[in-house]
């Protein structure tokens, strides 16, 4: 899954693709580089980020979705939003997947939208909100607590008429209300959630890598990201969410060939 932030303030590439022309060109490039899904978002969710209105998100992402489709990008497009209204507008414009970092909790209309559209959706775990999540993350057992969260969301969404067994994808939310040790524990265990649902993991350029590597510049965390992508691929995670599509595609391809599934 290639990350396409149509924002001025995302933690790593904020502003790079804020212009729709640049964002559409990046979507084309990611398709050529081997992305399987393109995840487009119009709201930064970095630690401390303020919310962005529905109208502003729609104004940011719809020209990119429509432009990418008009340029022949046929890959599935995911809309990264907590808002049911933004998700609906994106789906109508040509998106295929909803990626909700709030786990379909921030907007009471999201479960209804997921039931009506019957599209694949990502339920991510986050403790708190982007504005508060890194203040003081605490868990009894982070791996078990995140797994219990997925169970609870599956039950609640199923009760709302969502086809959870067919459409739900889970994301443990690396960096979203977690300490360095929480993140490492979740990475070690992420594939175990795959016993119930497809699993996606997003580690790309994140601050926990900066702490591990003593590297303050997110764009200089490529090799650290590659290590986490390799670990995810080799342990059975279904998808990785990355900024550097071409490079991480190579990592995944080699890991696939090293695994028993990819043996000729």
Q: Collect all residues with Cβ–Cβ distance below 8 Å to 86 and sequence separation of at least 6.
A: 42, 54, 57, 58, 61, 79
Q: What is the mean pLDDT of residues 168-189?
A: 97
Same domain, residue pair 73 and 17: yes
Same domain, residue pair 154 and 207: yes
DSSP 258: H
Domain final residue pick, 12, 45, 78: 78
| Alpha-carbon gap, residue 264 to 262, rounded angstroms | 6
**Residue pLDDT, tens place only, 97-148:** 999 999 999 999 999 999 999 999 999 999 977 777 787 889 999 999 999 9
Query: According to the model, what pLDDT value does residue 133 have?
Result: 72
Same domain, residue pair 87 and 187: yes
Same domain, residue pair 195 and 84: yes
| Alpha-carbon gap, residue 145 to 262, rounded angstroms | 33
- Could you give the residue numbers annotated as active site? 206, 241
Tokens at residue 53, please? 């209105």
Give the least confident one: 10-24, 181-195, 227-241: 10-24
Same domain, residue pair 132 and 61: no
Give the least confident one: 21-35, 133-147, 213-227: 133-147
Query: According to the model, what pLDDT value does residue 15 have?
Result: 66
Same domain, residue pair 232 and 106: yes
124 sits in which H/E element: strand 121-124
**Residue pLDDT, tens place only, 142-166:** 999 999 999 999 999 999 999 999 9
Enter the pTM of the model: 0.93
Find the Cα–Cα–Cα–Cα dihedral 28, 100, 18, 220, rounded to 10°.
Answer: -80
Q: Count how many domains the chain has.
A: 2
Domain final residue pick, 46, 78, 110: 78
Tokens at residue 92, please? 């109508």
Q: Tell whether the model's pLDDT for residue 28 goes beyond 90.
A: yes
Q: What is the mean pLDDT of residues 204-227?
A: 96
Same domain, residue pair 200 and 92: yes
DSSP result, 140-196: SSHHHHHHHHHHHHHHHHHHTT--HHHHEEEE--TTSS--HHHHHHHHHHGGGGGGT
Same domain, residue pair 208 and 168: yes
Q: Which domain holds residue 2?
A: 1-78
């Amino acid at each position: 899954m290639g990350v396409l932030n149509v924002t001025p303030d995302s933690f790593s590439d904020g502003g790079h693709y804020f212009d729709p022309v640049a964002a559409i060109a990046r979507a084309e490039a990611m398709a050529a580089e081997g992305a399987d899904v393109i995840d487009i978002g119009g709201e930064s969710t970095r630690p401390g980020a303020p919310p962005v209105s529905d109208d502003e998100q729609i104004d940011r992402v719809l020209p990119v979705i429509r432009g990418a489709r008009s340029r022949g990008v046929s890959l599935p497009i995911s809309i990264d939003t907590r808002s049911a209204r933004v998700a609906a507008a994106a789906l109508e414009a040509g998106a295929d997947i909803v990626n909700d970092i709030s786990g379909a909790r921030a907007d009471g209309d999201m479960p209804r939208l997921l039931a009506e559209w019957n599209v694949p959706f990502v339920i991510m775990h986050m403790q708190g909100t982007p504005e508060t999540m890194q203040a003081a993350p605490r868990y009894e057992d982070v791996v078990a607590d995140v797994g219990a969260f997925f169970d609870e969301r599956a039950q609640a969404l199923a009760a709302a008429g969502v086809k959870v067994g067919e459409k739900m994808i889970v994301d443990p939310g690396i960096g979203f209300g977690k300490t360095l040790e929480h993140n490492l524990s979740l990475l070690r265990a992420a594939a175990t959630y795959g016993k119930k649902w497809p699993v996606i993991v997003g580690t790309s350029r994140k601050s926990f890598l900066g702490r591990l590597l003593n590297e303050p510049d997110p764009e200089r965390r490529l090799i650290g990201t590659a290590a986490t992508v390799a670990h995810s691929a080799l342990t059975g995670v279904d998808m990785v969410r990355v900024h550097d599509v071409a490079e991480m595609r190579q990592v995944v391809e080699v890991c696939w060939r090293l695994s028993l599934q990819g043996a000729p």
